[in-house]
Structure 1
Amino acid sequence: MADEEGASPRELILEACRRNNTSLLEETLADLASSASKAKQDPTGYVAKTLNEAFDGVGNGCLHVAATYGNYEILDLLLDQEGLEIDELDHLEKDTPLHKAVRYVNTLTPSTWSAGHPIVDILLDAGCDPRIRNKAKLKPVELVDPRNKDLRTILQKGEYNFTSAGDVVEEEDDGPTGSASDSE
């Protein structure tokens, strides 16, 4: 679907992620879905495949790019796309988008750290795994500036929630209470 006269869908997606350009991303996703429909392909699958294969020159996927720049609105749009790989590793550091989000928050001044926390929150809420280690064997929580106790707590809670998600104990249902021998 590469347009010979302009940027490819991959280039448009990555540019939208860099610039927090929600209009460009929405338009590109709509164009991809329309092209898939015309070609009698599954639009949702085609959009997801295109997003999952959109890497920049150094191997960052679209979620990585949006997280690197702290672009919440783009992350919100991307995370609404069915079939998007949310724990994709970049090619250089083997970082997940969550690692990139923590690195982004670390670039902020301590007085503005809290403004970056929603970037981490949205990725955790979407199901990004905070237990994944990068090439340096570090989890996102281990990248947090030691002075940023709030972000450390957010990631620790996220890790706990992710780990304990399957630990729900269900009570057995023994049926109605009381003795069956009482009835005759």
Structure 2
Amino acid sequence: MAKDPRAVDDDNHDEQGASPKELLFAACRSNNTDLLSEVLSQFTKDPESTDPEEPKEEESKDEEEDEETPLSKFLNESRNSLGYTALHVAAKYGNPEILDMLLDQEGLEVDPLSHMEGDTPLHVAAQYTSEDPEAGGYLIHLLVDAGADPRLKNNGQQKPIDLVDPTSPEIRTYLSEAEAEAEAEARQEAAKKAFDADIARQTKHGGDIIVDDLDEAGSGPASDSE
């Protein structure tokens, strides 16, 4: 069967004349931090601003969080022929320096799913523990510290902890604790949203007026006694 000419070959390429995407995956595969820095330097975080002293329009916090830079868009959308992002490839080849550099980029998605298995980079890092437990464990720590969710399941209904090498119980313990912490944070966030929604509902239905009425009622007897 002929190979799709549109697919990016993750194992063979010529760096001379290669596209930024090809160079990105070459850097992630070979742990070439200089090459990755070169690729990242081709993108600017604020291409619309031409004058550094020109005042910018103020944006809300939500707008700032949702804004995607050209660099983050490039990193999040770039996929190799296996449907892996740069994070997946760095984890697959056990390259923590590259992984750390990528995770430092603002707006990077830390839990993208591979096209075939539905693996997150954390799944891939967990699999790497079979090749090198120490390096795999370090990759896992980097990803979890950056916000990767250890509770996510791939297409085989496996969580990252299910893919950790059986001879690495300490890594399994770490992921188990990370799962519990993520679950606790999710419950806390859900409770906060429910509380805020309840307050908003009370206010909408005159909850603030009821409070004012109680205040007025409380002041009544005092006025009579005077």
TM-score, structure 2 as length reference: 0.65
Change (3 A) 1:115 1:57: closer
CA contact (8 A) 1:14 1:62 kept: yes
What residue is the counterpart of 1:173 in the other structure? none
1:27 shift after superposition: 1.1
Find the aligned partners of 1:89 and 1:167 in 2 and give their Cα distance.
Answer: 24
Change (3 A) 1:104 1:89: same
Gaps of 5+ in 1: 171-184
User: What letter is aligned with 1:123?
Assistant: L
Q: Provide, for residues 22-49 of structure 1, a one-character-per-residue CA deviation record: whole Å limited to 9, x for no partner.
A: 1111111111228x73897xxx700000
CA contact (8 A) 2:96 2:135 kept: no
Percent identity between matched residues is 46
Counterparts of 1:70-109 in structure 2 under 5 Å? Answer: 70-108=94-132
Q: Provide, for residues 111-141 of structure 1, a one-character-per-residue CA deviation record: whole Å limited to 9, x for no partner.
A: xx22331110000000000011001000000
What residue is the counterpart of 2:177 in the other structure? 157
Q: What is the number of residues matched between the two proteins?
A: 159
Find the aligned partners of 1:10 and 1:74 in 2 and give their Cα distance.
Answer: 15
Find the aligned partners of 1:135 and 1:22 in 2 and give their Cα distance.
Answer: 32
- Tell me the SS of whatever aligns to 1:81: coil
What residue is the counterpart of 2:33 in the other structure? 22
CA contact (8 A) 1:18 1:65 kept: yes
What residue is the counterpart of 1:143 in the other structure? 163
| Counterpart selection for 2:150 from 121, 130, 145 | 130
- Tell me the SS of whatever aligns to 1:74: helix
Larger Rg: 2
Alpha-carbon RMSD: 2.4
Runs of 4+ with deviation above 6 angstroms: none
1:97 shift after superposition: 0.1
User: What letter is aligned with 2:47?
Assistant: S
